[in-house]
Structure 1
């Protein structure tokens, strides 16, 4: 992986490293019950909680287990979400993708814009063959997002994760490098 954190740009977005200066913006959405409902995580309460999350993002890169970009609006630089890889298995050329977005930006295509840029980066720079998304069945917006962006549902993983005092079922979705290559050739 590059030693300098790679920035990705899209039409409306700058995907960049999250910094402590982003903590207030991040706390706004990471403390929102609607944003956190399907993450398996507790609501963030303080700026220190967010700083721990930023440290985790940094550790992903340092350990080679993933990379997480902050999603910032190009026009304002304001952090409105994040998207990236974790549970990366270089030996098997796969990683899991995750994301969240501030509610005032839902339904505007921003999540798709960020997801597409991150997926392409994974295939072209991380040499991934497979990208997985694990999604709670009740998280219909996330299911629509990945399906719209070429991920295929592979099955239901029953009681796959434990969080917030309960076991969660998760759908396993994936997209393969050849799925993107084929879309590029056809499109």
Structure 2
């Protein structure tokens, strides 16, 4: 892959005043489904287990996750799903949804903001789709809908530490809110989706691969400013 236009540099932190979705997020049980042309984004359900497992045993999907490899068995998947269900700490701590194929209702992926304070300090957005649904424009479709719902959440004023490259102008002034996405340098398709949706590449940096200690991996950090300014 070609070298990034901004070469990797160490992370540099500044403190800014900005806004963020109110803590806690609305309970998952109260989140209304989000419909797109071909998809339904809805709260997780215990009955999603088999479909969730189909997603999490695909090596081509899991290679991009922090786990880095498929789930070893159904019991492992069940434990992960159990912590994302309505009413659980994990389910309420993130703004996430099961992504379903509207035509059949089957769960084909997940999407949401899984961290309020991500690698660059701002909230993070991410998604996973079963590989047989790749190449159909679904990632763009679902992230567009998810962002619309995310920006409509109630806000609160906060003071947080963020990576300097995500800040425009003086960090002494209140900053418009941002959301970020982080990819490995080799994940070109996801980078293309983010650029299409208006995200800009703000930072590249290296970290030790948690799956392979001693090996460094190159990360791309993208950010998008709130449209509500």
TM-score interval, normalised by the smaller of the two chains: 0.7 to 0.9
Stretch deviating more after TM superposition (75-84 or 6-15): 6-15
Stretch deviating more after TM superposition (38-47 or 108-117): 38-47
Query: What are structure 2's unaligned runs of at least 5 residues?
Result: 1-24, 157-176
Q: Which residue of 1 aligns with 2:78?
A: 51
Q: Which residue of 2 aligns with 1:22?
A: 48
2:218 is matched with which residue: 131, 150, 169? 169
Shift of 1:73: 1.0
1:98 is matched with which residue: 126, 132, 136? 126
Q: Which residue of 2 aligns with 1:155?
A: 203
Shift of 1:88: 0.9
**Aligned mates of 1:22, 1:164 — CA distance in 2:** 31
Q: Which residue of 2 aligns with 1:144?
A: 192
Q: Which residue of 2 aligns with 1:2?
A: 26
Using structure 1 for the length normalisation, give the TM-score.
0.84
Is the contact made by 2:83 and 2:91 (CA closer than 8 Å) also made in structure 1?
A: no
Shift of 1:164: 4.8
Please give the root-mean-square deviation of Cα atoms over the aligned residues, in Å.
2.2
**Aligned mates of 2:71, 2:212 — CA distance in 1:** 13
**Aligned mates of 1:163, 1:104 — CA distance in 2:** 26
Using structure 2 for the length normalisation, give the TM-score.
0.69
> In 2 relative to 1, CA 88–126 (structure 1 residues): closer, same or farther, beyond 3 Å?
farther
> In 2 relative to 1, CA 126–32 (structure 1 residues): closer, same or farther, beyond 3 Å?
farther
> In 2 relative to 1, CA 76–88 (structure 1 residues): closer, same or farther, beyond 3 Å?
same
Shift of 1:60: 3.5
Find the structure with the greater CA-based Rg. 2
Is the contact made by 1:60 and 1:86 (CA closer than 8 Å) also made in structure 2?
A: no
> In 2 relative to 1, CA 43–148 (structure 1 residues): closer, same or farther, beyond 3 Å?
same
Q: Which residue of 2 aligns with 1:185?
A: none
Q: Deviations over 1:110-162 (max 9, x none)?
A: 11111111111111115392111010000111111111111110111211652
**Structure number with higher relative contact order (C-alpha < 8 Å, ≥ 6 residues apart):** 2
1:107 is matched with which residue: 135, 151, 164? 135
Q: Deviations over 1:8-39 (max 9, x none)?
A: 11111110112221111111121111111121
> In 2 relative to 1, CA 52–5 (structure 1 residues): closer, same or farther, beyond 3 Å?
farther
Is the contact made by 1:119 and 1:131 (CA closer than 8 Å) also made in structure 2?
A: no
Is the contact made by 1:44 and 1:50 (CA closer than 8 Å) also made in structure 2?
A: yes
